[in-house]
Structure 1
């Protein structure tokens, strides 16, 4: 067995060119699998059947292993048995039809309506920074665009008279997203009174009249979240997630939200609907006397 593992390791390094971390994971997975074979009285990996491999996956599930861990083990077994087939050590690959468990998508963190209101009211006072930050936050929550898309917007991309923003990232098609009155008002005030004169055509600039960075913007958001007393973790997508969830909570059509978010697959948008259903169920379980 040791000779086989050494030959297999050489194959992973030279032919598959796996990273050292992946290599160690694959080998660790196989050692655990070999231990299982010994418990089942299977003398050699080449003697394992598809039923044996399914039994191994079920045993991991019964031990409470995470779906991602089981999926990695399945990948390890597929690679290993593909190698055995190449070396003509087996006639049929028992891992060929082995299915990986579907890992559950982690539900994103969002802000409540009240938390969003508190956050949007934080930029205060007169001057460039307060009005720029107010305009950025209002626009981000009004459209659900990505932070990278927000800081890449040009003056020509925003039509305040018709009330829409044009958004087009690389490798994705153009999206036209409507603007609400609050966002229109904030952006107009910023443009008319406080945007610095600059050769830059970008909509939002820093205090030096240069492009904003993604990191710089989220430092701004985090500082306002602290001022608003919001103790939830703020990520680059928090307002984007909140935008989608709040729209669906208020009866928006799922496909319309998908279009505005720029999701190529509607299953990505359905995560937000799943969040709403999950919370409704929690409310029911807590409030219904016979739940």
Structure 2
């Protein structure tokens, strides 16, 4: 690792992120040297370390690596500090048509994220007085249709999935707490994995949970139901006492060959967990973590207005909230058919 900057243990980043970034650097060292270059690597790493979310950091790492590769190959090694809006329009079209490997196109949502990553990188550079302005500021992002592809589960399907969880084990208690929490709060996976012990304030009757919205960064206060409180408290009883520091993850990955006891459960583990119980329950629909959010919104709209629900799930637009409500879409079709 002598060709790339050493990551200081004093960096303002959690240990999980530091270890993750070190692994990324080690696995992609040759591409880093070739496309980013030694002279630019330090500011590149400083930007990545400024990102608090480990999942965002990993995604932006490759997004920016693809951008530097584009500058090296398509723009004949142009210095990133000389990037223009025209360059970024070219980068966008290159990713949409051919992708980073020149062989497979990327989805509009992936390209939109790459442009966002580049824009945030240049915003960071302007704050560091390295460049005068952000050339990505006015680059038009690819349009993405508002559509939620996962399907919501019914109450009976949720009850069946919960009944299949072996709650006598720590991993089972973890799965029960996660499934109940996600279905009763509508929290996103990223919001769940970022929770710390200190965000959870237990109470005999109703606990309170503080979370930060993953996309809008809004701070949310969630009043938990008695059933959800009991599930989390039961999991914490079985959880290793070494991981009860307020700054440690609330939900830790269970024992495994490559998982640390103090690392948060991964988004991939949550995805696999939900898919596994849906399969065991014989549910043929496409049940994913988004299904729990859709369940919460659909069921919740029976009791609150769509505007209140949008605020509850930290949506900036009620249009997105409505996209999650698959039941009401079906009702609209039934209503139309019943009138003639």
Determine whether 1:177 maps to 2:222. Answer: yes
1:205 to 246, 252, 263: 252
Residue in structure 1 matched with residue 309 of structure 2 by the alignment: 257
**Structure possessing the higher relative contact order (Cα contacts under 8 Å, 6 or more residues apart):** 1
Alpha-carbon distance in 1 for matches of 2:201, 2:312: 16
- Please state how far the C-alpha of 1:22 moved relative to its aligned partner: 2.5
Determine whether 1:145 maps to 2:198. Answer: no
- Please state how far the C-alpha of 1:261 moved relative to its aligned partner: 0.5
Residues 111, 242 of structure 1: 8 Å contact kept: yes
Alpha-carbon distance in 2 for matches of 1:130, 1:242: 21
Residue in structure 1 matched with residue 272 of structure 2 by the alignment: 219
Q: What are the Cα deviations for residues 41-95 of structure 1, in whole angstroms up to 9, with x where unaligned?
A: xxxxxxxxxxxxxxxxxxxxxxxxxxx9xxxxxxxxxxxxxxxxxxxxxxxxxxx
Determine whether 1:242 maps to 2:242. Answer: no
Alpha-carbon distance in 1 for matches of 2:272, 2:322: 30
1:163 to 175, 198, 207: 207
Give 3-state SS (helix, strand or coil) of 2:86's partner: coil
Determine whether 1:283 maps to 2:324. Answer: no
Alpha-carbon distance in 2 for matches of 1:155, 1:282: 45
Unmatched runs of 5 consecutive residues or more in structure 2: 1-74, 76-83, 98-107, 109-142, 256-260
- Please state how far the C-alpha of 1:107 moved relative to its aligned partner: 4.3
TM-score (norm 1): 0.60
TM-score (norm 2): 0.52
Residues 244, 257 of structure 1: 8 Å contact kept: yes
RMSD: 3.0
Alpha-carbon spacing, 1:169–1:19, altered in 2? closer, same or farther (3 Å): same
- Please state how far the C-alpha of 1:252 moved relative to its aligned partner: 1.5
Alpha-carbon spacing, 1:23–1:184, altered in 2? closer, same or farther (3 Å): closer
Residue in structure 1 matched with residue 112 of structure 2 by the alignment: none
How many residues are matched? 201
